[in-house]
Each structure stands twice: as structure tokens, then as C-alpha cells.
A and B are shown apart, each in its own frame.
Chain A
Amino acid sequence: MHKSGAIIRTLLAVAAVLAVLAQDRARADALVVDLSNHLVAITTGFTGTDVLLFGAVQSEGDVIVTVRGPDQDMVVRRKERKVGIWVNSESATFRNVPAYYASASNRPMEIIANSQLYNDYRIGLEHQRFVTEIDDKDRNSSDYRDALLRNMRAAGLFNQRPAKISFLSNQLFRTDIHFPANTPTGTYTINVYLIRDGRIASIKTTPLVVSKTGVSAEVYDFAHRYSALYGIIAVIIAVAAGWTASVVFRQR
């Protein structure tokens, strides 16, 4: 029931997109996009989800989509063998690293445009620039940068390669954006680029919010906002549970 509701909403939205497009005929570069859902709700049963991005272009062109999570500062630590065991030794700090990054395109990115364009608009993981502080004399920053990308990919938070955008006709396109179970919360920015002849013809930006809802959100909030009270409650729960157990099992 929930699913069919989402489909109906999507269909309505597609119809709306087409209607807008029809009015917009005068503008050749028109690009319209929307999401099946602007809110990814992390509930107690959350195991990851897909968000459908769909849109329409007025005329021929390639489409690239980037999804960027909220920025954070990340520390990358390198392990070294010291007296036989592996110990974190040197480290590097990267500023404004997105907590999540994914991209999608309808054709291989290198065919759509040259890397200069991607660099200028910072499209794709390879073209992200991070402010780096490094205090390791034995390794250069690209080793750390590679390690950062590798770890984020292993965690499922950076995509391995751009996902596929499929065109349903010359005008309508769609792609699924996957959010894994460990998706960080915050406001995400989704950019959709329409590229023609190796140049950007149009950009549309749409936000997406990932937030915890329900019990898990309240627990997390409470633990951070009233941490002392949370600690006391945690102890009370444990004492009550232990006491209950001793009473229940004494009867036997």
C-alpha cells in the first residue's frame, strides 16, 4: 500500500514535469527533475533504501547526477608495525569531505565531456578538492587521499563508479540513488547537469534530507541533549532488569 502510494505520487510528479516542460518549450535548455522522496527516514527497521530521481530534458543532451552528503572533517590514520604489532602512527586530516557521495550518468563520463569541465564544476569523486593537513614525512598526500576514498567506498558511502541513468524516451530519464544502512544524517545536495557538446547547458539543484525518525531519533537526540539524564536512565533500566531477573528466577 505504501509502495503503490509512492508510485502514484511518482506518476503524478512525472505528469507535472511533462506539463511544465510543455509550457517551457520556448527555452531550449529546460531541465526538470524531482525525487520520489525528499526525505530519507532512518527508522528502527532501516536497512538502506533507494530514492528514484527522475526528470525530463527539452532537447538532446547528456545528463549527470551528483549526490553530495553533508561535509565533515576526516582523519586518515596509517598503521605501522611497531614491536611486532600494528599501531596507528601518522595521520592526515581532510577538511570538507562529503559524508556521502554518489554520481550517475547516462553514458561514460569521459565521453560526455573532458576532465577540465568536471574539474571546474567538481563533478565526480576524482575531482573533489579537500583541504589537507598532513604530518607524515614518509607518505605523500595522494596515498592518504586514495586511502580515504578506498575506506569510504568500502563503507558504501562513496560509489565505486557512476551509476547508470536510463532514458525512457528522448526526453524522460530516471536513476536510482542507493542509500546504505549506515547513511549519515543531514542535508544532501543533488545536482543534475545537462551537458551538450561538452559544455554545461543547464543545472538543477534539489535538496534531500536524511534524518532519523521515530524511537531511534528520539533516543539519539536525548542521549546527546540530556546526556546526564540519559546515563541515569540507562543505569535505572539495567538495575530494574537485573532485579526483575533475580525475582523471576528465584521463584523456581
Chain B
Amino acid sequence: MQIYLPIAEMSVNIFLILGLGGGVGFLSGLFGVGGGFLITPLLIFYGIPPAVSVATAANQIVASSVSGVFAHWRRGNVDLKMGLVLLAGGIAGSTIGVWVFAWLRSLGQIDLVISLCYVIFLGIIGGMMLIEASRAIFRTRRRGGSFRRTKKHQHSFVHGLPLKMRFYRSGLYISALLPLLVGFFVGLLTALMGVGGGFVMVPAMIYILGMPTSVVIGTSLFQIIFVTANVTFLQSIQTQTVDVALAILLLIGGVIGAQFGAQFGSRLKAEHLRAMLGLLVLSVCLKLLFDLVITPTELYSIAPENL
């Protein structure tokens, strides 16, 4: 059954989009990730214009983050103060990001920048995950049990920065500049790539800010809601590329898929999950890289001038 998307201005197979949302939802439930980094490339592979894919994915991530944040909020796993500081950076980053997005679009380079961002970030994150997970699997086999190396209160350049702030929930006393910068950078990625940025935010919170892992997911989800909402709002104003119909279809599929994914995931080992996710991320990265490198069959592309 076909449905005509009002903003993308094309007709798509309704079940295919539902299935796509469901599939990514399943994976995000399985691995505990937002899935924005999969939704956007898959929409682009399907033929949805990149600009619409990015803006609409941001809208869909608002919903998936909202549904995820409640559980963490109830358990007190959201560092509100840290979230707000990250958010301040995120709002600035995403606002500039939307503006950069519109500028690149007018130059005809937005598709390239989106693809390059994906190749770089998916390559780094996927590679790191795979290495880390395979080490963990190897260790478990050898020693017959898993363990974590944790370094508490490690001192680095981080502690020399000005504007220090106390974050009670995270038990941190660090410069506010750091979360501001992390938030800014991730906000930029949200606008350019149509991702929540959890896959950058979470490692940055653990390794750069030194936050305890218990509050990382909840706090990251909390600030992602507002950053993606900001991107949705600004893209609506600036480029009119948010397709509500597409977002709703993805949402329905995603919500249902995530429930199955979470149930299925509880039966698998964490390091196996991470290894699988790493492989998945790397294969999306390779597909995008491949498309950039091979000689295209059509060397010319066309677009209306006013876009």
C-alpha cells in the first residue's frame, strides 16, 4: 500500500516504512541505543531526500527519547543540573548546526557532508565497540568471568579549567565549560546527521566528564529530547523538511519494535550485543563509504535552484 508523504513529496510503501521503523526500533531495544544513526541512512538508501531524512529523524528521536527517559527519571538516574548544562551547549550547537545545514544545502554539498559525518563517526564508534567487545569476550573466556576496570577520581587537564561547578548527582566538581562543549558538539551532530547523538554523548560523559555510568543514559536521554525538539522546530522554520507523516510511521514501527528488541536482548550477553552492534554500525559505515568511492553511474545531479 502506497502513501504520499506531504513534505518529502513522494509516495512510499507504508509497510516498508513501518518495517524500517520496527527494525530499527527492535535494534534500539536490543542494544539500548536511540537508532537515529541507522534511521537516517536507511531513509536515504530508500530514496527519501537527505534533508527530509535528517530533519524527520530528529523529530522521531524526540519521541523515542521521551519514552525512554521516564524509566530513568523514576529511578533517579537523571542528573538534572548536568543535563541542563549539556542542554545549554546542545541548544547553541544545534541552532548553529541547522544554520550550517541550510548553508551547505544551498551549496549543494549537504549530501556529501551528511555521508562524510556518518562514515567518520560510525567508523570510529563501530570500530571501538567491536575492539572493546571482542576484548571483553576474550577475557571472559580466558578467566571465566567478566570484570571492569574503573578508575576513580583520575586527575587530568580537565580539572585545571575555570568555571568549576558542583554536580551532586554525578558526584563531580568540574568546569562547566566541559559539558557545555560536549553538548555543543553533539548538538551540531544532531542538526547535521539527524541523530540523537547518544553514541557520542555516552562515551564522552563517561570518559571525558567522568560521570558514573548509572546516570549517563538517563541524563543523555533527557538532554537529547530538548536538542532534537530544537532541531525539529528550527528545521521546520528554516527548511520545511520535517515530514510529520513519515515521522509518525517511523514512530509506530519503532515503539513496537523496541519492545520486542528489549525482551530479546535480555537473553543475550552484553558483550555479544556490543560486538553485534559494532558490526552493524561498521557495515552501515562501509556501505556509505562505498557509495562515496565507487564511480557513480550518473556524474551529474539536478536540483531546483531555490533549495
Contact = CB atoms under 8 A, between A and B. Distances in A.
Interface of A: 42-47, 72-79, 81, 84-88, 91, 93, 144, 147-148, 150-152, 154, 181-182, 212, 215-217, 219-220, 223-224, 227-228, 230-235, 237-239, 241-243, 245-246, 249-250
Most chain B beta-carbon contacts within 10 A, residue among A73, A219, A239, A241? A241
Contacts of A74: 302-305
Interface string B255-291: 1000100000000000000000000000000000000
Interface string B42-80: 000000000000000001101111111011000000000
A230 B234 CA distance: 10
Contacts of B302: 74-77, 147-148, 151-152
Given A224-B240, A242-B64, 11 more contacts: A44-B4, A46-B11, A72-B304, A76-B300, A84-B293, A87-B109, A151-B298, A216-B245, A238-B232, A241-B251, A249-B255
Contacts of B232: 231, 234-235, 238
B63 A238 contact: yes
Contacts, number: 181
Nearest to B12: A181
A216 B292 contact: no
B63 A75 contact: no
A216 B4 contact: yes
Contacts of A234: 59, 232-233, 236, 242, 244, 247
Nearest to B259: A249
Name the prevailing secondary structure of the A interface residues.
helix
A226 to B, nearest CB: 10
Contact of B10 (A75, A182, A220): A182
Interface string B224-261: 01000100111111001010110110010001000100
B66 A243 contact: yes
A144 B11 CA distance: 29
Contacts of A75: 108, 302-305
19 contacts: A45-B3, A75-B108, A75-B303, A85-B112, A85-B116, A86-B292, A93-B305, A147-B298, A150-B298, A150-B300, A231-B242, A235-B62, A237-B247, A238-B60, A238-B247, A242-B63, A243-B66, A246-B70, A250-B71
A227 B236 contact: yes
Contacts of A230: 236, 240, 242, 244
Interface in B10-27: 10-11
Given A88-B108, A246-B66, A147 B244 contact: no
Given A46-B11, A74-B304, A88-B112, A245 B229 contact: no
A212 B296 CA distance: 34
A216 B6 contact: yes
B6 A220 contact: yes
Contacts of A150: 298, 300
A212 B300 contact: no
B241 to A, nearest CB: 9
B301 A79 contact: yes
B163 interface: no
Contacts of B2: 45, 47, 181
Contacts of B63: 237-239, 241-242, 245
Contacts of A148: 300, 302
Contacts of A44: 3-4
